[in-house]
Structure 1
């Protein structure tokens, strides 16, 4: 199971480190290794969130996530994205931007860093919306009940997440964006527009995927009711009822999976923002950066599939809570970094600590239930884990 899931990650690691050693020597090998570890530590909570979504998909879409998804993650976000940012901010053509990245690395790094306020506002608001929608929703399992119970009650107001996110964006624009460290000057307008862009992206992609997922669940419920009714009317000799809609039901499932896949990719992009910016503290070589962060991204994807196949989120029910709290913290950190420098080690440790605490609470909960690592049928609701 372990080798099957992480086999490609191990192979890519060997090839990537070998390539780094050949191209840049021992120093390049060390840089790529450090970047890989940086990406894994920053994005571990991303794997838990992805697993919560990916487990709703079939094996085909899980493979798409590991193949097409990793291409988007490595080449799109870790290699193409910084170049596109430079092209937009410096008003250069794609060829000129690539030439700048290869032949004038110091200026390239300066341009990418100057775009940080816009990147941080977009990613911070997007991640904050994920956290807010989670924390304001009524759930069977509550990790920090003293926080989650009252928030779930006031969360019945549908637009509350949007209101809180807009308030956070407004506060950021009027405080940390007025005199930023990256590029200098007043970035209020940039932060406001980028933050609204992150909010709109979340609402569009998340809303469409949620719509198709809801339609699919409704159709499944109707089909189940039709089958029960047919079986009751025909007795023991009743033949199985054909699923209503036939091919259209399959098409609906495909649409739901497709938009959920897009949602996953946008989440991954938001998580990668801090990794890409933080990588410049280690190197300004875009190819070494893409190689190191790409290896880390591959492990995160393999870990996501591993969590799905092992049913870890079902066995340890507070893991999703810890990951979402980590997402909320990362969203706030991104907004703060519009003006202030925060070490990537701090960012990574926040996520690791929150997930470790939620995992420990899950273990204690399972021991109390008498079934370590398994869901208990004795209780349908757990109100507090800590």
Structure 2
């Protein structure tokens, strides 16, 4: 199972490292490897959330996520997105933006590719941070039978009883972030609002299309429609059939938006290591992004999320932490080590807690059987 799932990732990683070695020598090899590790460490929580959504999709749409989705992740987010940001910010045409990128100017040099991208960080962080924050809030504000950090999740669930609680909290967070942004208040506020609008748009359309598709097929009753309406936001995770058609397409788009939001910090953080766009594409894209895809598939095929039920919670706490970090980085620099490790810490803690819970459940079951006998 491991080689079947990760085989292509290992092959592509070897090819990417070989290209990095030829292109940049031993230093280039080391940088590409570091960037790949950085992207993987930043994306553990991304893989868990992706897996929970991907397991609801048909085999066809899972393949689309692993083929077209990889092209979008590598070519779109790790290569074209930074170029687009620089082109728009510096008012350059695409050819000039590419030329500027290939100059490999230092992040400290005004007018360089890395400098312009770093200067655009506040609005990028506001967009991605608010989008991820809405995912976290909608998950935590939902009433759940299973809770991990009960001391925190119970009060959050009570807050969630208020109408539009996630919207209110998200707007308050955005206002605070924008007020601290100095002369970039307006652009930060606009970017955050766009991130929020995109979240509600994709989430709402996904629920609408899923219900429409299900009604057309005549497969579910009214109670099941209510359950399916929460698939995208993560409020419903088990007991739902595979989605197809427009619903699956919206889920696919949602996955790509999540991946984009998670990649913001990695793309920006990469320029603290190197300003070479080729090495960034090799490390973040060909190594990191593809390994995250393979990890997502592994979690789906192994049924890991159903076996270790706290992983969902750990992933969403990691998302919440990353969202807060992104909003903080609008005004204050945060070490990539903290950003990279916080997701791993939450996932590891949730995994260990799940193992303990499973052992207790088995012990209770064994005791019940013994008493019954």
TM-score between both structures, scaled by the size of structure 2: 0.88
Equivalent residue, structure 2, for 1:277: 268
Residue 288 (structure 1) aligned with residue 285 (structure 2): no
Deviations along 1:10-58, one digit per CA (max 9) or x if unpaired, are 1100110111111111111111000000000011110001011001001
Aligned mate of 2:205, from 201, 208, 211: 208
**C-alpha distance in structure 2 between counterparts of 1:26 and 1:150, whole Å:** 52
Equivalent residue, structure 1, for 2:154: 149
Is the CA contact (8 Å cut-off) linking 2:104 and 2:275 kept in structure 1? no
Is the CA contact (8 Å cut-off) linking 2:83 and 2:97 kept in structure 1? yes
Equivalent residue, structure 1, for 2:193: 196
5+ residue gaps, structure 2, are 107-111, 225-240, 369-373
**C-alpha distance in structure 2 between counterparts of 1:137 and 1:158, whole Å:** 12
Deviations along 1:336-372, one digit per CA (max 9) or x if unpaired, are 0011111111011111111111111111110011089
Aligned mate of 2:251, from 240, 250, 260: 260
**C-alpha distance in structure 1 between counterparts of 2:221 and 2:196, whole Å:** 34
**C-alpha distance in structure 1 between counterparts of 2:265 and 2:35, whole Å:** 12
Equivalent residue, structure 1, for 2:229: none
**C-alpha distance in structure 2 between counterparts of 1:158 and 1:37, whole Å:** 41
Distance 1:127 1:321, change over 3 A: same
5+ residue gaps, structure 1, are 179-185, 226-249, 379-386
Deviations along 1:209-237, one digit per CA (max 9) or x if unpaired, are 12223445564224999xxxxxxxxxxxx
Q: Provide the aligned length of Structure 1 versus Structure 2.
A: 343
Equivalent residue, structure 1, for 2:298: 306
Distance 1:91 1:58, change over 3 A: same
Equivalent residue, structure 1, for 2:234: none
Distance 1:21 1:309, change over 3 A: same
Equivalent residue, structure 2, for 1:228: none
Equivalent residue, structure 1, for 2:76: 76
**Within-5 A mapping of 1:81-230:** 81-103=81-103, 105-106=105-106, 107-175=112-180, 177-178=181-182, 186-216=183-213, 219-222=218-221
1:99: Cα distance to partner?
1.0
Is the CA contact (8 Å cut-off) linking 2:311 and 2:347 kept in structure 1? yes
Runs of 4+ in 1 over 6 A off after TM superposition: none
TM-score between both structures, scaled by the size of structure 1: 0.85
Measured on the aligned residues, the alpha-carbon RMSD in Å equals 2.2
1:8: Cα distance to partner?
1.0
